[in-house]
Chains A and B, each alone.
Chain A
Amino acid sequence: DTAVSQTPKYLVTQMGNDKSIKCEQNLGHDTMYWYKQDSKKFLKIMFSYNNKELIINETVPNRFSPKSPDKAHLNLHINSLELGDSAVYFCASSQGPLGRVRETQYFGPGTRLLVL
């Protein structure tokens, strides 16, 4: 039973296309996140949702739009894909908001996006 799962695992697409990545957690957590890991392996937070409410929105292009239909799901939709969007995208979850210092995050396996 995978705690945090993402689909698809790999995504290869053309510039200009619109694509979505799905994330589901079965841990009963209230908070979910999206991270981007670029080619230099730096891992940066993009968004965070707590109980379906957006609480973190880093400096991310408007082409990226997260959607949380319920607490267990946080999807990432990307419009007009660009070459620079190629990266590994990780979904994560935590019991509560990370403001509680004892909170730890559980990460998914990642979605490897390649834009051609």
Chain B
Amino acid sequence: DAKTTQPNSMESNEEEPVHLPCNHSTISGTDYIHWYRQLPSQGPEYVIHGLTSNVNNRMASLAIAEDRKSSTLILHRATLRDAAVYYCILRAQGAQKLVFGQGTRLTINP
């Protein structure tokens, strides 16, 4: 599985946008970019995924660089409930498993 690099931690304020970066310079053409997050004392939950185009859903937006070597998860208006560890994961077509890295621990200040 291609490797991703994320900052260990980030901090933001409530009701402000948050941009969580992920570098994946060795991504292959068929790798999808998935984001999951893990709230404190809970199991991970799916956030969003994409291949080439930017994606939006009710939780977040995913901005993918034109060369696909990096992506950014955007939380448009962070709440305290968004404090979690965010994992950027590359999934090859046909891959049967998710490989989690260390993720980014996001702290939201009130």
Residues of B with Cβ closer than 8 Å to A? 32, 34, 36, 38, 41-46, 49, 51, 85, 87, 91, 93-100, 102
Contact = CB atoms under 8 A, between A and B. Distances in A.
A43 B44 contact: yes
Contacts of A108: 43
Interface residues of A, number: 24
Interface in A1-57: 4, 33, 41-45, 48, 55-56
In the A-B complex, the 10 residue pairs with the smallest Cβ-Cβ separation, listed nearest first, are A107-B43, A104-B46, A43-B100, A101-B32, A99-B94, A45-B97, A90-B43, A107-B44, A98-B96, A108-B43
B96 A55 contact: yes
A32 B95 CA distance: 15
Q: Is the interface of B mostly helix, strand, loop or mixed?
A: loop
Contacts of A105: 36, 44, 46, 98
Nearest to A91: B43
B32 A98 contact: no
Interface string A98-112: 110110111111100
B52 to A, nearest CB: 13
A42 B87 CA distance: 11
27 contacts: A41-B85, A41-B102, A43-B100, A45-B97, A45-B99, A48-B97, A56-B96, A56-B97, A90-B43, A90-B44, A98-B91, A98-B95, A98-B97, A99-B95, A99-B96, A101-B49, A101-B93, A102-B49, A104-B34, A105-B36, A106-B45, A107-B42, A107-B43, A108-B43, A109-B43, A110-B42, A110-B43
A97 interface: yes
Interface string A45-79: 10010000001100000000000000000000000
A12 B44 CA distance: 23
